[in-house]
């Protein structure tokens, strides 16, 4: 492949007629004789097209907050602190009161999802207040809602010491992680670390896995002896993030090592290679995998004794939610470990999930959302769905998309991003409960919730879920709302769906490779290497040009340079570039300071504030832009393998350009 030489471009050598170019990157390309590719804004190109999709706007409608507020407030009546938690909402009388949450004991594995859902809305109210209903009293979104969150999460702290379950990730992390991150409650962080260490006690180095269940006692299967059996289920992959997170915050490396080893074990015990391949032109072309729900291992050797299912149709079938757990779990594991075996596993499971969705729609075009089990027969022409499987899979695919963008694999990144949005859109169209709720204000400033249509009420956001339809289960229930379906639906707000639905924040400045609409059509080849180093002098010229362009548009004069964003290596370039900038500009940089994101240097040039940030890790960039640099225009200098890798993270905010060094 031809090498590309970058010639330094300065304001003096750039033609400039006072008009602001669409992209400084394109100016640099022109100066170097690179081919320009016209941006294609066709509605089929990526997630930007979803901005006007009304179905996705339902994710951020008043109905969501109103329903959760009502269920949370009502649920604390004679139940505070809670001893029972929402699990499912019947759609038919045979399962209980139609439209009302059925509660389960607080020890049940799903107890953490409802508090986690409340904290997801608290996250939204703090980080994205523009998405909330207008006109609500401030206390609704402030102290009162935080009080509801704390009330529902309080009993979870005492569960952190449990060693009788592998579901501590599901129980503890959804609520207490956000409580720690949003409020700085160190008690919640301590509970997270305690829970992770409790979970780690279920690890057996002989089996190289964490024991999921102590026994199985179904109508058709009984496995009782823990000395002879070691039961592991596919769901366990999604409890590993608790271990990784606690390891990062406590410094206990053993927790991360256990999580990694468990994930590696399940690659061989639970993934089944499939001979099919994707029909998508930009799909994953590697090995595709279906999944087994339950594997019984020999605790002495780790060898497989039996494969079976407890919630799917059959041991050899593909239970849809199990497939979704695998997508999400391996996508999360890759983000922590960066081991490609986990990325490949996540892509193989995701592509097979999409393949099965496509095949079921070929059978009947009305089969739009995932069947509860892709291999279960359709009885009486009445399919049994599982909307929760779809939103869990979508979460995993969006995490996958972000990871692939960081690696410069733009085509695959867009493949899974587009697929995730399509799955969510279809689920909202098909399974969003038509019974809506809204807030009503009264004279004294208080609010209450009422049904939009009098007498039509349904507690959960989604319908058409299936908790367990296995023929041998002691309790079979399907066709209902499900608490973790709603939880994972709202988790999408932190995975770029919010930006797509609400529209990107449009800075009054030049946008380039980080622009969501132009990233894909630019078609930069991540394998190409720039041969000339882009050093401080180029950055100085570039920064001056950006300041001039910024002033011409009357936008903010606050600008940041993220210098040395990298995937590997330990090169500290911020000191060098800061010294060069200080010598060139009007005022020297202030003394080095530090924040959560790392070291930085500050200077003021006239009315312009300049900040140089040293070596942020790629995974920090998105949050840094949203928090520490939210009022800045940003120039990113990449010291790493791929310009697309970083620009895939920064799809909005004030990013004006992304530069790359070989």
In a domain, 1, yes or no: no
Query: Does pLDDT of 290 surpass 90?
Result: yes
Is residue 472 domain-shared with residue 603, that is, in the same domain? Answer: no
| Whether the bond into 81 is cis, omega within 30 of 0 | yes
In a domain, 19, yes or no: no
Stated as kind and residue range, the H or E segment containing 116 is helix 113-127
pLDDT given at position 128 = 74
In a domain, 611, yes or no: yes
**Is the whole model's pTM more than 0.75, yes or no?**
no
Angle 347-350-353 (CA atoms, 0-180°, nearest 5)? 150
pLDDT given at position 588 = 54
Report how far residue 406's alpha carbon sits from residue 222's, in angstroms, rounded to the nearest whole number: 46
Partner residues linked to 602 by β-bridges? 611
pLDDT given at position 502 = 42
Query: Does pLDDT of 368 surpass 90?
Result: no
pLDDT given at position 244 = 96
**Burial of residue 266 (number of CB atoms within 10 Å: 0-12, 13-18, 19+):** buried
Across 14-28, 283-297, 362-376, least confident range:
14-28
Report how far residue 57's alpha carbon sits from residue 37's, in angstroms, rounded to the nearest whole number: 32
> Do residues 233 and 294 make contact, with C-beta atoms less than 8 angstroms apart?
yes
Is residue 572 domain-shared with residue 615, that is, in the same domain? Answer: yes
In a domain, 509, yes or no: no
Q: Which of 471, 502, 533 is the last residue of a domain?
A: 502
User: CB-based contacts of 165: which residues, under 8 Å, 6+ apart?
Assistant: 109, 171
Query: Does pLDDT of 571 surpass 50?
Result: no
Is residue 159 domain-shared with residue 56, that is, in the same domain? Answer: yes
Report how far residue 107's alpha carbon sits from residue 123's, in angstroms, rounded to the nearest whole number: 25
Report how far residue 529's alpha carbon sits from residue 1's, in angstroms, rounded to the nearest whole number: 10
Is residue 32 domain-shared with residue 151, that is, in the same domain? Answer: no
Query: Does pLDDT of 645 surpass 90?
Result: no
In a domain, 247, yes or no: yes
Average pLDDT over residues 527-556: 45
Number of Cα atoms under 13 Å in the Cβ half of residue 238: 24
Report how far residue 338's alpha carbon sits from residue 403's, in angstroms, rounded to the nearest whole number: 9
CB atoms within 10 A of CB 7: 11
* % the chain with pLDDT above 90: 54
How sure is the predictor about 157, in pLDDT bands with cuts at 50, 70 and 90? very high
pLDDT given at position 595 = 55
Q: Which of 502, 534, 551 is the last residue of a domain?
A: 502
599 vs 566, higher pLDDT: 599
pLDDT given at position 134 = 77
CATH of the domain at 387: 1.50.10.10
Across 23-32, 465-474, 530-539, 594-603, least confident range:
23-32
User: CB-based contacts of 524: which residues, under 8 Å, 6+ apart?
Assistant: 513, 643, 644
> Do residues 304 and 297 make contact, with C-beta atoms less than 8 angstroms apart?
yes
Torsion of CA 361, 364, 368, 372, to 10 degrees: -90
Query: Does pLDDT of 12 surpass 70?
Result: no
Report how far residue 392's alpha carbon sits from residue 462's, in angstroms, rounded to the nearest whole number: 13
Is residue 470 domain-shared with residue 537, that is, in the same domain? Answer: no
Partner residues linked to 112 by β-bridges? none
User: CB-based contacts of 620: which residues, under 8 Å, 6+ apart?
Assistant: 597, 598
Across 199-213, 271-285, 542-556, least confident range:
542-556
Across 137-146, 534-543, 594-603, least confident range:
534-543
Average pLDDT over residues 367-387: 94
Is residue 488 domain-shared with residue 425, that is, in the same domain? Answer: yes
Is residue 226 domain-shared with residue 184, that is, in the same domain? Answer: yes
Query: Does pLDDT of 586 surpass 70?
Result: no
In a domain, 7, yes or no: no
Report how far residue 81's alpha carbon sits from residue 508's, in angstroms, rounded to the nearest whole number: 49
> Do residues 259 and 245 make contact, with C-beta atoms less than 8 angstroms apart?
no
Is residue 280 domain-shared with residue 201, that is, in the same domain? Answer: yes
Average pLDDT over residues 188-197: 96
Is residue 69 domain-shared with residue 33, that is, in the same domain? Answer: no
Is residue 249 domain-shared with residue 295, that is, in the same domain? Answer: yes
Is residue 70 domain-shared with residue 178, that is, in the same domain? Answer: yes
How sure is the predictor about 367, in pLDDT bands with cuts at 50, 70 and 90? confident
Query: Does pLDDT of 577 surpass 70?
Result: no
Report how far residue 350's alpha carbon sits from residue 160's, in angstroms, rounded to the nearest whole number: 32
pLDDT given at position 132 = 77
CATH of the domain at 632: 3.40.50
Query: Does pLDDT of 513 surpass 80?
Result: no
Stated as kind and residue range, the H or E segment containing 467 is strand 465-468
Across 249-263, 267-281, 353-367, 489-503, least confident range:
489-503
Partner residues linked to 289 by β-bridges? 273
224 vs 519, higher pLDDT: 224
In a domain, 45, yes or no: no
The mean of the pLDDT values for the chain is 77
Report how far residue 491's alpha carbon sits from residue 486's, in angstroms, rounded to the nearest whole number: 9
pLDDT given at position 7 = 33
623 in helix, strand or coil? helix
> Do residues 307 and 299 make contact, with C-beta atoms less than 8 angstroms apart?
no
Chain segment 255-286, per-residue pLDDT in tens: 999 999 999 999 999 999 999 988 888 899 99
Average pLDDT over residues 412-426: 93
Partner residues linked to 343 by β-bridges? none
In a domain, 42, yes or no: no
Tell me which residue range forms the domain holding 361. Answer: 52-502
Is residue 390 domain-shared with residue 538, that is, in the same domain? Answer: no
Stated as kind and residue range, the H or E segment containing 271 is strand 271-274
Count the domains in the chain.
2
């Amino acid at each position: 492949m031809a090498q590309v030489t970058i010639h330094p471009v300065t304001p003096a050598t750039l033609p400039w007629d006072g008009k602001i170019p669409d992209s400084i990157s394109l100016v640099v390309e022109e100066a170097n004789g690179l081919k320009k590719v016209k941006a294609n804004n066709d509605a089929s190109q990526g997630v930007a097209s979803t901005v006007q999709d009304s179905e996705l706007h339902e994710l951020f409608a008043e109905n969501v907050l109103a329903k959760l507020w009502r269920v949370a407030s009502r649920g604390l009546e004679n139940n505070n602190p809670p001893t029972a938690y929402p699990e499912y909402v019947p759609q038919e009388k045979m399962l209980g009161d139609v439209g009302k949450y059925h509660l389960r004991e607080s020890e049940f594995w799903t107890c953490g999802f409802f508090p986690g859902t409340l904290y997801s809305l608290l996250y939204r109210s703090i980080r994205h207040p523009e998405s909330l209903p207008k006109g609500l009293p401030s206390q609704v979104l402030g102290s009162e809602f935080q009080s509801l969150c704390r009330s529902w999460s309080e009993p979870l702290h005492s569960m952190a010491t449990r060693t009788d379950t592998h579901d501590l990730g599901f129980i503890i992390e959804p609520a207490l992680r956000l409580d720690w991150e949003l409020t700085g409650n160190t008690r919640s962080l301590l509970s997270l670390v305690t829970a992770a260490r409790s979970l780690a006690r279920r690890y057996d180095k002989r089996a190289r896995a964490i024991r999921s269940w102590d026994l199985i006692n179904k109508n058709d299967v009984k496995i009782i002896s823990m000395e002879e059996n070691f039961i592991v289920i596919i769901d366990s992959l999604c409890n590993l993030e608790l271990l990784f997170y606690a390891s990062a915050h406590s410094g206990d490396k053993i927790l991360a090592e256990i999580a990694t080893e468990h994930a590696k074990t399940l690659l061989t015990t639970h993934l089944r290679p499939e001979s099919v391949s994707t029909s998508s032109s930009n799909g994953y072309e590697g090995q595709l995998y279906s999944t087994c729900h339950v594997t019984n291992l020999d605790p002495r050797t780790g060898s497989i004794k039996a494969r079976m299912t407890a919630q799917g149709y059959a041991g050899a079938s593909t239970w849809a939610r199990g497939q979704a757990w695998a997508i999400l779990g391996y996508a999360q594991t890759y983000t922590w470990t960066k081991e490609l075996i986990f990325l490949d596993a996540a892509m193989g499971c995701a592509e097979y999930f999409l393949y099965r969705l496509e095949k079921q729609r070929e059978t009947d075009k009305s089969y739009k959302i995932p069947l509860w089990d892709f291999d279960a027969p359709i009885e009486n022409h009445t399919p049994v769905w599982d909307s929760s499987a779809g939103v869990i899979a979508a979460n995993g695919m969006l995490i996958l998309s972000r990871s692939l963008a960081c690696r410069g694999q733009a085509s695959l990144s867009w493949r899974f991003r587009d697929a995730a949005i399509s799955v969510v859109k279809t689920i909202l169209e098909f399974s969003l409960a038509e019974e809506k709720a809204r807030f009503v204000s009264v004279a004294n400033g208080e609010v209450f919730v009422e049904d939009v249509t009098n007498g039509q009420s349904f507690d959960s956001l989604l319908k058409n879920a299936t908790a367990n339809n296995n023929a041998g289960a002691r309790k079979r229930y399907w066709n209902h709302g499900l608490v973790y379906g709603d939880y994972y639906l709202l988790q999408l707000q932190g995975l770029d769906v919010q930006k797509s639905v609400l529209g990107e924040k449009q800075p009054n400045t030049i946008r380039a490779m980080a622009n969501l609409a132009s990233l894909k059509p630019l078609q930069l080849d991540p394998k190409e290497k720039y041969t000339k180093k882009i050093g401080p002098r180029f950055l100085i010229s570039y920064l001056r040009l950006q300041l001039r362009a910024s002033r011409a548009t009357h936008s903010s004069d606050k600008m940041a340079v993220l210098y040395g964003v990298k995937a590997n290596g330990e090169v500290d370039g911020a000191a060098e570039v800061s010294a060069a900038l200080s010598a060139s500009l009007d005022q020297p940089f202030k003394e080095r300071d530090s924040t959560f994101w790392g070291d930085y240097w500050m200077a003021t040039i006239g009315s312009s504030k300049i900040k140089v940030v040293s070596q942020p890790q790629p995974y920090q960039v998105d949050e840094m832009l949203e928090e520490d640099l939210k009022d800045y225009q940003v120039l990113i200098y990449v010291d790493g393998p791929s310009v697309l890798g970083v620009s895939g993270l920064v799809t909005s905010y004030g990013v004006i350009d992304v530069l790359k060094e070989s």
